Each structure stands twice: as structure tokens, then as C-alpha cells.
Structure 1
């Protein structure tokens, strides 16, 4: 079979990461058909850092040259690009959230599902090696019956240092904030491993005019199982620290800092798996797995990428948290 041609809309952090992952992949399976970005500085950086990457002249030209379109632009533009790709009969791989308006997102997901569209959302936990380990511990009795999930995320500053160039939208309440950008991944993880969530209490604090939240919290339920989320900017020296902890009747396990699966031993210590990798080293391996699944999606083969429906459920919870009373 011919390689799957993937086109990328927007050459920001995520666009660049996926472009590099495509160029490092087996070219007989996946190729980069083009990159589109309206910002001259982004295209200049693309030509300098990835001179082998083709530059698309327009969105129409990119879609025409692609089998699958990856949308990595700021959230407010996601659905416009997504609809254009699906209308042309292409597969869609989109960043989250699907949109900044819940009603628009719900309408889009209904349309895509009714049309049988080939579409998925980029939640990399769907391909995480550490999550595979958590799932194995859940299956082999290490955890027992789940009793509680706790999500904790913290940042020395927001946006994180490597996102400074995106501050214009990433630190604005309309599209940005850590709840949308980071907490959504852990809510997806909870949805995928534990089940659909019901939001019971939520809140977010916006102390700086015109800026995104500086703290957020929520209590949720998966059936009768409680899920607690806490997030904040400040109170840590870490640029990006996170914990997803699952307590069970037989034991407790957690995912730390994106890529470390750890088990709580009887002596009170946390032990990570011997093959654990820090996120910087794990990320390209996970992206490769994601790309293999994107190829399967495009070719109509089975895969387990995040569905539009899962992304819609996560977005609804995120937006409810942000619209709640101060935490």
C-alpha cells in the first residue's frame, strides 16, 4: 500500500513535534505531505529547522495533497479546519479541545458521527507505555476494586517556559489555561480507564484580569467512585508536575509526570517500573505509536485513538470547571 500522507495545519509546538515524528517514521508507511501556517515566522522556522518538510501554499492545497489532516492550530480555529478536511473526504486528527464553544463542538461531533467520518483527537495517553502498565496492574489484581482517583497538577508559571511564544492565546481565558491544556489529558485518562464521569462540584479562580485561571478544582463521580481534581499555578518550582493516582482495595498505583508508572509498596515507598523513561525520551516513542494508529484510522483499520465523543465529554467537564464558582 502507498504511504499515508499526513498534512499539518499550524507549526507550533505540537505541529513541530508531529512533523518531526512523521519525518522520523518509516517513509513507506507515513509521509509528510505539507505544513501550513499563516505566520511568516513559523514558516521561516520550518524552512530553517526542517528543510525537508514541504510548505503548503494554502489550506486547500494541503488538504488535496493529504490523506489525513492534523489540526494543531489554536483551539478557536479547530472546527473550521476540521470541517474542511472532512468535507473533502480526508481523515482528521485534531488537537483538543475540538472548539471553544460547547454547542458548536456537540453539533460537529454529531455531524461527524452521522457521516461515519474517520476522525480522532490527539490524547497521547491512548498510546502511553506507562498507561499500559497502569492498565496491566488494574487487570492483574494489583489494584483490586478501584476506590478513588486523585488528579494533581501544578506549574511554577503559566504558560510553561516552552510555550512562551503561545502566551497570546494560551494565557487567555477564551482559549487557554492549564485546565484545558493539561487537566484535559488526565480527565481523558480517567474516562478511558475508569468510565464516564459526572461533575458534582467545580470551581476556578481568575485573579489576573484578562488571564487564564490560576487554580481550579473539581469533585467528580464515576458511578460511586470519587474523582478529585486539583490544579494550580505557583507553590512549586517544577515547570510541569502532575500525579494521577488510583487507590484500590488491594493497592495503589499512580502515573507521575506524564511517563512514570509507579506502585505503592508495603514499606510506604513508590517504585517505578524498571523500563520507565522520562517524558522527554518517552514522548517520541509515544508519538510514533500515535502515528501508527493515525495510519490505521486513515486506512479504516481498528485503532484506539481518542474518539470525538470522548473528547466532547472531556471538553464539557473542562468548560464546566472553568465556569464554576471560585475554588
Structure 2
């Protein structure tokens, strides 16, 4: 039996997930909505027959829906999430969980107290790359772990594929690069190695008092192991780069641009063998189907999302 899904928010991420759900044999999109009439019209043109409804309430209260996916700006996540929980429907939330830690804790407690199935949509929430990396670390392939590095640099913010979200993704009170980009790597590190502690932070902001950070240099620790974060804007001609690297006494592994797992080879990096018979998206949706069936799964929970958010907000409010 196909699981019925409702989607609130059809922007950059919401549209992508709409297509993923529509392509997966275990799911059926029963209702979807976006605040923007222009976005809704574009969805109607690109996905004929997409079940667009009048508002978010119509998505959440649709009688056939098993799961609601929330892909709206983070400042609206808690409002919608609490309504979904109250209706006893399963909840899939895009990252970050929200901007307010207090509000996020309310949602997590509400979902857990009612026993609502829930998950976060992190890029490294599940998939063949994550499985391969986890097995490599468990097999001690790179020896004793010594340090980690996360780097990202972009020619502009927002990125070209984020222009529809420019009104909120560029605002320090509603998102920003650290919340948008580093959250994925915080979750991955948290899953594989444990909690992160912020040690020191340098942040740079544009002159606009509402603009989000344009550079961060930070030191964190995972147990006794250091993690260095450096990210921000380069020049308009800077190539887009982002990577997560873990160094050990016998080698290094890296997640590079384009969802690739790499291993250090002499003076460069070579591809690490990953079983890609199913894509990361397919695996995450397989796991989501298992979650809805009450089976064991590997997806991050809302509580995992809260723990990631605590690290992110510590970085942005350090000192």
C-alpha cells in the first residue's frame, strides 16, 4: 500500500522532494501547497496533476495523508509542526528545525509525548555514502582519528538555485549560510562520532544590520578530536566548493562536492568505492517508508535536529 504524503512549501527543496516522492513506488502525494501563487503556477505547469490545495491547513487536515513534509522557511516550521503533531500525523521536517531553540524544544517534546513518527531531512540522513563512511570508520581504515575539517566557499549568497528563497535565506534572523550549510555536516559528525562542543568563533557580517554572516572561522571539539570550520563568500569568480574531511593516523576520507566519498591517495584524492545501486534519495525514502510502518530505520529524528540546532546557535551566538 502506498503511503500518502502532503507537502507544505514547494520552493527549491519542496519541489525537489515533490518530484522524489512522485517517482518512488512506496509514496503518493495527496496534497501540496505553497504560499506563492507564482510557485504554485510553476508547479502546475511542471507537474500536471499535482494535487495543489488552497492552504496549509488543507494539506494537514487531508483525511488520507499519513505524513506531512514541511519545506517552508524555518521561522514557520514550529507553527506548522505543532499542528501536524496535534493531528496525529507523521512529520518530516526540513532543516534547520527552527530559529528558536525554545520553540524547537516544544515541538520535540510534543512529538515525543504523543509518540508521533518524525524525521529530519538532512542530506546525510541516510544513503550509500553515509553507510560506506560509517563502515570505513568502524573498520579502522584510516587508523586513530586525529582531526576533522569543514570548508565551504561560494561566489555569491544566495546561490543561483536559491534565488527564490533570497528574502529569508540571506537574513541573519531567518537563516544564513551557517544554518543552511553547516547543519548537514554537524548532523553527520554527530551521527558518526558524537556531540560537538564550540571552542571559539570568528564571524563576519555585511554592513546591513539584517544580513546574515558572510564568513565564519570556528574551532570545535568532538570528544578530544578538533574540528575546524571555515566558510564564507569569495569573489564572484570563486568556484563553489564544500567538503567535510576526517583525518586519521593511516589516512583521510573526504566528502567532496557532488556527494562523493574520496580517500587520500599520495598527493591527491581518489574515489572511494561506494555501492550506488540505489541513490541517497531512494534510500532515504525507503527508510521513511520503514518509519511509517513502525520498522527500524536510520533517519535522523526531530531530537537529532534539535541537537544540531543547539550547535549551530552556539556558533552564531558565541561569546
Give the TM-score normalised by structure 1. Answer: 0.91
Tell me which residue corresponds to 2:292. Answer: 298
Aligned to 1:55, which of 34, 42, 52?
Answer: 52
Distance 1:159 1:236 in 2: 12
Aligned to 1:30, which of 27, 32, 36?
Answer: 27
Deviations 1:86-137 (A, max 9, x none): 1111000001112111111122212222222211110121223222222222
Tell me which residue corresponds to 1:41. Answer: 38
Give 1:198 deviation, angstroms. Answer: 1.3
Give 1:20 deviation, angstroms. Answer: 0.4
Going from structure 1 to structure 2, the CA distance change for 1:157 and 1:34 (only over 3 Å counts) comes to same
2:253–2:261: 8 Å Cα contact kept in structure 1?
yes
Give 1:75 deviation, angstroms. Answer: 0.4
Aligned to 1:318, which of 309, 312, 315?
Answer: 312
Give 1:239 deviation, angstroms. Answer: 5.5
Tell me which residue corresponds to 1:159. Answer: 158
SS, match of residue 82 in structure 2: helix
Tell me which residue corresponds to 2:280. Answer: 286
Give the TM-score normalised by structure 2. Answer: 0.93
Distance 1:80 1:67 in 2: 19
Tell me which residue corresponds to 1:180. Answer: 179
Tell me which residue corresponds to 1:149. Answer: 148
SS, match of residue 271 in structure 1: strand
2:97–2:104: 8 Å Cα contact kept in structure 1?
yes
SS, match of residue 45 in structure 1: helix
Distance 2:316 2:34 in 1: 29
2:81–2:107: 8 Å Cα contact kept in structure 1?
no
Give 1:59 deviation, angstroms. Answer: 2.5
1:160–1:239: 8 Å Cα contact kept in structure 2?
no
1:161–1:239: 8 Å Cα contact kept in structure 2?
no
Distance 1:72 1:240 in 2: 24
SS, match of residue 120 in structure 1: strand
Q: Where do 5+ consecutive residues of structure 1 fail to align?
A: none
1:146–1:249: 8 Å Cα contact kept in structure 2?
yes
Distance 1:290 1:200 in 2: 33
Distance 1:303 1:258 in 2: 25
RMSD value over aligned CA atoms?
Answer: 1.9
How many equivalent residue pairs?
316
Distance 2:309 2:207 in 1: 23
Tell me which residue corresponds to 1:204. Answer: 203
Tell me which residue corresponds to 2:120. Answer: 121
